[in-house]
Structure 1
Amino acid sequence: MTTTAPAAPTLARGRTAQVRLQRFGAFLTGMIMPNLPAFLAWGLITALFISVGWLPNGVLGGFGNADLPGAWQGAATQLVVAEDGTTFRQYLGLVGPMVTFLLPLLIANAGGRMVHGERGGVVATIATLGIIVGSTVPMFLGAMLMGPLAAWVMKKVDALWDGRIRPGFEMLVNMFSAAIVGGALSVGAFFGIAPLVTQISGWLGDLVGWLADNHLLPLMSVIVEPAKVLFLNNAIGNGVLVPLGAQQVVTDGKSLLYLVEANPGPGLGILLAYTLLGVGVARSTAPGAIVVQFFGGIHEVYFPFVLMKPALIVAAIAGGATGVATNAVFGSGLVGPASPGSIFAVYAQTARDSYLGVTLSVLLSAVVSFLVAAVILRATRARDLAAGSSGDLAAAVAQTEANKGRSSAALSALVASDGAEEPATGDAVAGPVRLVVFACDAGMGSSVMGAAVLRDKLRKAGVEGVEVVNKAVANLDDGADLVISQRELTHRARLQAPTTRHVSVDNFMNSPVYDEVVAEVVAAQAARPGAS
């Protein structure tokens, strides 16, 4: 007993650290995800109208000389000094203003709203403009920093006189306080924060350049692929890769950083290996997961397959690194983030000169991850068939926890009986269910799929009056009757909605828990007075 007692604090600290990283990633995602349509629009406009795009247009792309005869004089222009000292007027276009002003301000507004509602969003936008005009690079990182910070400052200022304003003066105080705080923070950001964030952005860009110069870019997959499986990828993807990718698009017209995380190839290869060499439920489920993962872009569906055999993380890393290396060799990349990570979204954002490289990066990453996964599955297939998948799964979970050095709720749950749910939080007695919320990290990926599956099951069972929606974990409240989340995220979901009943699943795509929920709802409705 003395040998196991010291491990408890380590396990708790490990879980706490993981939850904190997930929260941080979810916060960054909350600023990026709602604005992804704007990123995609910018990417499409860039792909079409820049000088090397599909439909080059100097007015829209921002490279046309406005002094040329017949130029359209209604468009906004800027004064440009050429290398020989001559000056001319050039169209601003859409590409530059969108990446310089629109996208950072949208990010700042979203971050401010998350901290202090609409008021925080307005102040965050005002303050972030100071960073934008005070720097020479797109201020995505600055917006992620200044937006929430400005809203937090406004929140603290509002708390100083909360409940102390004389009736009739509330609007006056609220308007002028927000204007003064926003203006002051904008000036402070211009002189103080903009140079700092510009320097940090430069360092990160230099790091990426150093990795590229030394042919080490594939090493990023060593971090990104395991982070995806542990739901820690948002802090890396939305916090680092998307902003750096946008900066590279401004200078180079494309970036391979957008495909480091979004490449659907590694997941496709692993699922194909399970389809051919898997055992039991995993083998029968894999083909359907391929459609959802590769075409739908919901990468979360292959995570449980990796967790079942943690050695398969090697296949994911090898596939991801192959994709990065292929794009580096061919000089290929995307003009905007591919979200969700569907092959359709990838091609929609592919630069005009990059289709061969991007296609090969997805294909080769799938081939490499399949080959590595096939070797691993083939080596254990006889043992799986002889001993049964449940026994082998228990051994795999024990080995994984030994490798990680801490317990994992997600892995431990895999050895439980299928469909087992965690104890409910709050009132565990089954009551009327009118609102079911599916919660995932971003609220726009796997939870959408899970909600659709349960909605279909309720419809086929003839159940009416039950609303099924999806949300981000960070946006949960106690208004729902039931919250369904993946086991890895249930702890955070409980913190957001402590009095709501919670149910955990291992896979949003196919879980026996859904049938239990449907049966419970049917029974509850049948037991109501007046039910036929």
Structure 2
Amino acid sequence: MEQKGFRAKVQKFGSYLSGMIMPNIAAFIAWGLITALFIPTGWWPNESLAALVGPMITYLLPLLIGFTGGRIVYGLRGGVVGATATMGVIVGSDIPMFLGAMLMGPLGGYLIKKIDDLFQDKIRSGFEMLYNNFSAGILGAILAGFALKIIGPVVYGLNQALAAGVEFMINAGLLPLANILIEPAKVLFLNNAINHGILSPIGVEQAAETGKSILFMLETNPGPGLGILLAFMIFGKGMAKSSASGATVIHFLGGIHEIYFPYILMKPVLILAAIAGGISGVFTFSIFNAGLSATPSPGSIFAYMAMTPRGDHLAVLLGIFVATAVSFVIASIILKTTKEETGDLSTAAMQMEELKGKKSSVSDSLTKEETTKVAGNVNKVVFACDAGMGSSAMGASLLKDKFKKAGIEGIEVTNKAINDLENDADIIITHKDLTDRAQAKVPTAQHISVDNFLNSPKYEELVEELKSK
């Protein structure tokens, strides 16, 4: 029980880190592209455009993270205080303050929320704007000073210690062994805490100095998962084999690595294939001194190529290929030497949801209170999950395919994070443990709860209902 509780806390922490980073990935990619293109060792060196690199990594990216962290806690008001507090750690250090932003942003949002809870109801009519502006301004100033003098130096020391540990592993040739922890962590949904909490901040710092970092490829390499899916395409059985080809496209081209997790959960020994693939891939990257200019998100081969600096494309492709080949060979041996399947894909998918902290029931039938009957015209269906990428992307892909086969046209099917839901959605599909949050965010939409994004009878019922309209 204690282990499950600890895992749930780490997962929640990782999800929160992801919630601060993922909405700002476009800004990271913009910075990575500018770095790859215009620094002296880039594709088209340009001194004036390269001047953007420093200010963006020093100010823009940490402030965006701090604003997002505060906004998650307490809306725009929390975001403003969070960004103001983040400025303190930025000024108090000469390194990119991503870790400091991840701390000060949510702290600013939390404290202004508590202050409002205490005083907002006591403000006399006509003084609301005065209170709102000055309470947030005073708190922001206090937190910025506190961050400058106290939090900044502490985070700087922590960052230097982590960077020194990573540098030691690189110099000692031990970095590939990090995948012994990273690959199982991915399947257990602890990867966000590792990737966004440790690897990416240090990787960005390295990329600012050298134009690239190998740390961006430790967790995002699509090779290990691709090898396992290819093995299922050839040596798998039943539903796992028939679905592996589609999963391969989603994983390798779409960058949604979560799609291959259920295949490992069917046969947990396959984690050995993922670990071996990850180790061999990072070892190959290390030999050829390969790196990326920014984190590839999602972990698609297209994102990988876009974030690869000049001269590294062959080395990056070779690392992905080696990881794929190694994981494919080991996974193939495991599948060929195993007489029977240890479980089916739908059961593994439910197990995947449980690992994410969303307990699934065996039955996914409609309750008396819930129906997929559509009221009015439907123009947009949105799948929503915590991050708006993994589970929801898989569900959206499945429903798009069902709509296409049923001849249903003119309905947009997309996926988003719950925090990014808008009022333009006609139908919102969520895991049943997240439906209340989605309803609170968009009460005007029709909400459908499912136990399992990969296999729900409600999709068929929705298709039939839309066909009859």
TM-score bracket for this pair, using the shorter chain length: 0.7 to 0.9
Shift in CA distance, 466/55, structure 1 to aligned 2, threshold 3 Å: closer
Per the alignment, in what secondary structure is the counterpart of residue 439 of structure 1?
A: strand
Match in the other structure for 2:12: 23
The amino acid across from 1:519 in the alignment is E
Shift in CA distance, 290/160, structure 1 to aligned 2, threshold 3 Å: same
The amino acid across from 1:336 in the alignment is A
Shift in CA distance, 354/409, structure 1 to aligned 2, threshold 3 Å: closer
Give the CA deviation at 1:446: 4.5
Shift in CA distance, 483/129, structure 1 to aligned 2, threshold 3 Å: same
Distance in 2 separating the partners of 1:282 and 1:421: 20
Match in the other structure for 1:438: 383
Match in the other structure for 2:464: 519
Shift in CA distance, 296/430, structure 1 to aligned 2, threshold 3 Å: closer
Give the CA deviation at 1:459: 6.3
Match in the other structure for 1:496: 437
Match in the other structure for 2:171: 213
Shift in CA distance, 408/348, structure 1 to aligned 2, threshold 3 Å: closer
Match in the other structure for 1:331: 289
Shift in CA distance, 427/317, structure 1 to aligned 2, threshold 3 Å: same
Shift in CA distance, 362/430, structure 1 to aligned 2, threshold 3 Å: closer
Alignment partner of 1:353 out of 301, 305, 311: 311
Checking the alignment, whether the CA contact within 8 Å between 1:427 and 1:501 is kept in structure 2 is no
Checking the alignment, whether the CA contact within 8 Å between 2:256 and 2:389 is kept in structure 1 is no
Distance in 1 separating the partners of 2:401 and 2:230: 27
Give the CA deviation at 1:354: 2.0
Matches within 5 A, 1:293-442: 293-380=251-338, 383-384=339-340, 389=341, 392-393=342-343, 421=364, 427-428=369-370, 431-432=373-374, 437-442=382-387
Deviations 1:473-508 (A, max 9, x none): 5667999866344xxxx54x256358965212263x
The amino acid across from 1:37 in the alignment is A
Deviations 1:217-258 (A, max 9, x none): 112212221121222211211222111110111222211111
Checking the alignment, whether the CA contact within 8 Å between 1:410 and 1:506 is kept in structure 2 is no
Give the CA deviation at 1:313: 0.7
Shift in CA distance, 250/120, structure 1 to aligned 2, threshold 3 Å: same
Give the CA deviation at 1:160: 2.0
Matched, 1:137 2:82: no
Distance in 2 separating the partners of 1:429 and 1:312: 39
Matched, 1:454 2:454: no
Per the alignment, in what secondary structure is the counterpart of residue 199 of structure 2?
A: helix
Match in the other structure for 1:5: none
Checking the alignment, whether the CA contact within 8 Å between 1:476 and 1:496 is kept in structure 2 is no
Give the CA deviation at 1:457: 3.1
The amino acid across from 2:303 in the alignment is A
Match in the other structure for 2:31: 42
Distance in 2 separating the partners of 1:411 and 1:104: 31
Shift in CA distance, 354/422, structure 1 to aligned 2, threshold 3 Å: farther
Per the alignment, in what secondary structure is the counterpart of residue 343 of structure 2?
A: helix
Checking the alignment, whether the CA contact within 8 Å between 1:264 and 1:341 is kept in structure 2 is yes
Matched, 1:198 2:141: no
Match in the other structure for 1:52: 41
Shift in CA distance, 268/452, structure 1 to aligned 2, threshold 3 Å: closer
Checking the alignment, whether the CA contact within 8 Å between 1:437 and 1:468 is kept in structure 2 is yes
Distance in 2 separating the partners of 1:334 and 1:472: 26
TM-score by length of 1: 0.78
Shift in CA distance, 506/376, structure 1 to aligned 2, threshold 3 Å: farther
Distance in 2 separating the partners of 1:186 and 1:378: 60
Shift in CA distance, 379/410, structure 1 to aligned 2, threshold 3 Å: farther
Deviations 1:351-392 (A, max 9, x none): 223223211110100011001101101101xx23xxxx5xx4
Specify the structure having the higher radius of gyration (Cα): 1
Checking the alignment, whether the CA contact within 8 Å between 2:79 and 2:109 is kept in structure 1 is yes
Per the alignment, in what secondary structure is the counterpart of residue 162 of structure 1?
A: helix
Distance in 2 separating the partners of 1:495 and 1:306: 31
Per the alignment, in what secondary structure is the counterpart of residue 505 of structure 1?
A: coil
Segments of structure 1 that go 5 or more residues without pairing to the other structure are: 1-9, 62-92, 402-406, 526-532
Matches within 5 A, 1:147-226: 147-226=105-184
Checking the alignment, whether the CA contact within 8 Å between 1:422 and 1:502 is kept in structure 2 is no
Distance in 1 separating the partners of 2:355 and 2:71: 33
Checking the alignment, whether the CA contact within 8 Å between 1:299 and 1:341 is kept in structure 2 is yes
Checking the alignment, whether the CA contact within 8 Å between 1:439 and 1:471 is kept in structure 2 is yes
Deviations 1:38-66 (A, max 9, x none): 100110110111111111122222xxxxx
Deviations 1:136-158 (A, max 9, x none): 11001110110110111111122
Give the CA deviation at 1:261: 1.2
The amino acid across from 2:364 in the alignment is E
Segments of structure 2 that go 5 or more residues without pairing to the other structure are: 441-446
- Higher mean C-alpha deviation, range 342-351 or range 514-523: 514-523
Checking the alignment, whether the CA contact within 8 Å between 2:374 and 2:465 is kept in structure 1 is no
Checking the alignment, whether the CA contact within 8 Å between 1:482 and 1:503 is kept in structure 2 is no
Matched, 1:98 2:59: no
What is the aligned-residue identity percentage?
49
Match in the other structure for 1:470: 415
Give the CA deviation at 1:332: 1.0
Distance in 1 separating the partners of 2:365 and 2:107: 37
Matched, 1:272 2:272: no
Checking the alignment, whether the CA contact within 8 Å between 1:221 and 1:317 is kept in structure 2 is yes
Checking the alignment, whether the CA contact within 8 Å between 2:204 and 2:294 is kept in structure 1 is yes
The amino acid across from 1:107 in the alignment is I
Per the alignment, in what secondary structure is the counterpart of residue 52 of structure 1?
A: coil
